[in-house]
Amino acid sequence: MATFTLTDILLLLGIAQGVFLAVTLPIVHQKNTKANTVMAIQLGMASVLLVSKLGMYKAQEVWVFQCFILGESLIFIFGPLGYLYVKRLLLHNAQSFKLGIVHFVPAILYLFYLLYLCHYSETEFKGLYTSGYFNTVFFIAEAMALCSNLYYWFLCIKLIIDFERNQKHQLSFHQVSLSFIKVIVCLIAIILLLWVFIFAGVYFFGYTITYLNYNMIWVGIPILIYCIGYYALRQPEIFRIRLPEEKAGTAMKNRLQKDEITQLKRKLETLMKIDKVYLHNALTLVHLADKLDTSTNNLSWLLNNVYGTTFYDYVNRFRVDAFTEKIKNEEHKRHTLLSLSMEVGFNSKSTFNKAFKSVWKETPSNYIKRLSEQSV
């Protein structure tokens, strides 16, 4: 009778958690639905992979091992699906984005090879497997899977970097909720680094360390699933952006005519100074462009080339000015600084502090202290 170790128990818990999240995430969480559908598929496949590994370790019969080994083909799937998840999560124009079949060809080919192994009789397979007959193919497959996952991980990092660089041009606030995806990406990086270290040690340097082996990777997957469950069920809606289709250096200098610039500036200043649209704490470039009856490209060009600023800095300058007016009216003696910052349109303390220091080169507290000293 097979016995269960601590590793086995962790794998079983990871399987249960993965199945639970794969079923409930698309149903319970109504935000980021397109991305969460991809995440649910990933979690389901992660559970299948863990079942496969556990079955291979515990198999008493060769035919059972041959069946469970088919799950190994899934190691090629997580990279492409992870990239698809991040892209759908962050980009407004990628909600219907799909990956071509070419991204899944390695998984399909490896699955066919593993199916081919099933045609061997139990005696033949056991003899060939123990003699290392299949080792070359297994080595090539693992090396390709490792490179594939690293490649898609770097693509995800590039997407996140591009998102953070461009959101200042389209959002008037920082998205604290984005931290959860950074945590997940960091955990995946740790697992991939372990995989690289163990793979190199086994195949190139011929050493193994007692506690640094493939079991650590398989234990890392349930931990990753727990973290995904914790963050995914709590994540708020993420404001997606559109990545610019043309490079900044190729943008036309004369996108708008002089009369168009004058008219757009007048309408913009009316919205900001009279209508005070900056008080809307989730103001985006799209919302403001709609109110101006112009395109986001035109508005972005105006802010960048005429005002010499970004959308984020432009809007938050009005918010900071509104906040300082409240300070001059001594409203801070009746309300907290945080509540005042919320009243003028900021949606978080960190965004407020960063914007205030960008304008005044000091903290709000120091600003108030300096004003008090000047009035004495």
Give per-residue pLDDT as tens, 231-283. 766 665 565 566 665 444 444 556 788 888 999 999 999 999 999 999 998 89
Q: 25-29, 109-113, 191-195, 357-361: which range is least confident on average?
A: 25-29
Helix (H, G, I), strand (E, B) or coil at 165: helix
- DSSP sequence for 122-140: HHHHHHHHHTTTTHHHHHH
Query: Would you say the C-alpha torsion 358, 235, 100, 139 has a positive or negative sign?
Result: positive
Query: Would you say the C-alpha torsion 339, 324, 173, 268 has a positive or negative sign?
Result: positive
pTM reported for the whole predicted model: 0.78
- In the chain, what is the straight-line distance between the N-terminal and C-terminal CA atoms, in Å? 85
- Say how far apart CA 147 and CA 195 lie, in whole Å: 11
348-363 average pLDDT score? 90
Q: 171 pairs with which residues across the strands?
A: 284
Q: With 60 as the cut, is the pLDDT of residue 116 above it?
A: yes
Q: Which residue has the higher pLDDT, 234 or 367?
A: 367
CATH class of 6-232: mainly alpha
Q: What pLDDT is stored for residue 202 in this prediction? A: 85
Q: How many residues does the chain have?
A: 376
Give the phi and the psi of residue 285 in degrees, each rounded to 5. -60, -40
- Say how far apart CA 320 and CA 340 lie, in whole Å: 10
61-70 average pLDDT score? 91
Q: Under 8 Å CB-to-CB from 62, ≥6 apart: which residues? A: 122, 123, 125, 126
Q: What pLDDT is stored for residue 250 in this prediction? A: 42
User: Which fold is adopted by the domain 255-375?
Assistant: Arc Repressor Mutant, subunit A (1.10.10)
* Identity of the residue numbered 263: Q
Give per-residue pLDDT as tens, 290-315. 999 998 889 989 998 899 999 999 99
* Identity of the residue numbered 179: S
Mean pLDDT, all residues of the chain: 85
- Say how far apart CA 9 and CA 222 lie, in whole Å: 10
Pick from 86, 219, 257: nearest CA to 155: 86
Q: What pLDDT is stored for residue 247 in this prediction? A: 47
Pick from 200, 107, 94: nearest CA to 155: 94
Task: Look up residue 196 and give its two tokens.
Answer: 């690289």
Q: What pLDDT is stored for residue 372 in this prediction? A: 82
- Helix (H) or strand (E) holding 324, with range, is helix 311-328
Would you tell me how many other CB atoms lie within 10 Å of the CB of residue 372?
11
> Of the spans 14-28, 109-123, 248-262, which averages the highest pLDDT?
109-123
- Say how far apart CA 201 and CA 128 lie, in whole Å: 24
193 contacts 336 by C-beta, under 8 angstroms: no
Task: Look up residue 95 and give its two tokens.
Answer: 């909600």
Helix, strand and coil content of the chain, in percent to the nearest 5, comes to: 75, 0, 25
User: What single DSSP character describes residue 222?
Assistant: H
4-31 average pLDDT score? 81
Q: What pLDDT is stored for residue 148 in this prediction? A: 96
Place of tokens 């978080």: 348
Place of tokens 């103001």: 283
On the question of a common fold for 6-232 and 255-375, the answer reads no
CA 48 and chain centroid, separation: 23
19-24 average pLDDT score? 87
Would you tell me how many other CB atoms lie within 10 Å of the CB of residue 174?
19
Give per-residue pLDDT as tens, 155-183. 999 999 888 888 777 777 766 567 788 88
Q: Which residue has the higher pLDDT, 205 or 358?
A: 358
- DSSP sequence for 10-39: HHHHHHHHHHHHHHHHHHH--SSHHHHHHH
Q: With 70 as the cut, is the pLDDT of residue 366 above it?
A: yes
Domains of the chain by residue range: 6-232, 255-375
User: What single DSSP character describes residue 133?
Assistant: T
Q: Under 8 Å CB-to-CB from 74, ≥6 apart: which residues? A: 45, 48, 49, 52, 107
- Say how far apart CA 88 and CA 95 lie, in whole Å: 5
Give the number of C-alpha atoms closer than 13 A to the C-alpha of residue 212, restricted to the C-beta side.
14
- Say how far apart CA 79 and CA 156 lie, in whole Å: 9
- Helix (H) or strand (E) holding 81, with range, is helix 78-90
- Say how far apart CA 82 and CA 185 lie, in whole Å: 9
